[in-house]
A = this chain, B = another copy of it.
Amino acid sequence: MQHRSVFFISDGTGITAESVGHLLAHFPTVSFKHIRLPFTDSEQKVEEALVKIAETEKADGVRPIVVMTLVNTDLRDKLKQSNAVHLDVFGSFVDPLAEELQEQPSRTSGIAHSVLGNSYYERIDAINFTLNHDDGMTDFGLSEAQVILVGVSRCGKTPTSLYLAMQFGIKAANYPLIPEDLERGTLPEALKKYPEKLYGLSINPERLHSVRSERRPDSHYASLDNCRHEIRLAEDLMHREGISWIDSTSRSIEELSTIILQKIRVNSNH
């Protein structure tokens, strides 16, 4: 197996650079070692980075990959003196944008992930809302929710809600469908006012059995029979109530969130 070191070098957090680094997943036969050098925002720090890159090349016997987001063009040019392969995110995208927009880009480092960028406080509010409305914790304030995820216990509602809040600033409540709801065959009372906000998650019974067994092995709750029973009743209920749902079994929280976002049609301005 091929091994490669990848540096993420940024004058800010390096989070944009690392996001681009997700593309490395398209080379599953290569083993990548990630090295983060955030806040590389001075000549001295770039020099230190150059030393590390050179040392790494020597140790690896092959040149490293550098994914870089530096706003300062002098620092960018200096870093590119390394012998690495440079994936220059700023050079590739911000420079052409500046030309298209006929605007000089702000040279403030790290603006993309600062409290100034991307509706930061809206996202923090959404995270707090989501934590306070996890697992049907309270009905108070549900009217503020942009989406309310429903489904049986442990089908993925909580991490999906948090991802929606953290990444997209969506106020996402979640509410479990518990055995009492399922046997009664109706939605929890608190949800009946918000049919347009409801979105369902389901899961395959074998997977649910395995997830629940990690928490409560050998319980009725985790048994395959009970998982099958709960899921069947939950899907029947959602069907009767006209609630769309998606199967979380082999989908990541990123994929689930993206599908839900399409559904609730949020084309925001940020």
Q: Identify the A interface with B (CB < 8 A).
A: 2, 4, 12-16, 19-20, 22-36, 38-39, 65, 67, 69, 71, 85, 87, 89-90, 92-94, 96-98, 100-101, 103, 105-106, 108, 110-118, 120, 124, 127-128, 131, 134, 158-159, 162-163, 166-167, 250-255, 257-259, 261-262, 267-270
Contacts and interface: CB of A to CB of B under 8 A. Distances in A.
B110 A13 contact: no
Query: What is the oligomeric copy number?
Result: 2
Contacts of A31: 269
Contacts of A85: 96-97, 100
Contact of A116 (B25, B114, B269): B25
Nearest to A86: B96
Contact of A118 (B22, B118, B250): B22
B262 A36 contact: yes
Given A23-B94, A159-B127, A254 B33 contact: no
A269 B32 contact: yes
Nearest to A103: B27
Which 5 A-B residue pairings sit nearest by Cβ, starting from the closest? Answer: A19-B19, A113-B254, A22-B112, A25-B117, A26-B105
Contacts of A96: 85, 87
A239 B29 CA distance: 47
Contacts of A97: 23-24, 27, 65, 85, 87
Contact of A163 (B2, B20, B166): B166
B65 A100 contact: yes
Contacts of A124: 159, 253
A140 to B, nearest CB: 14
A103 B29 contact: yes
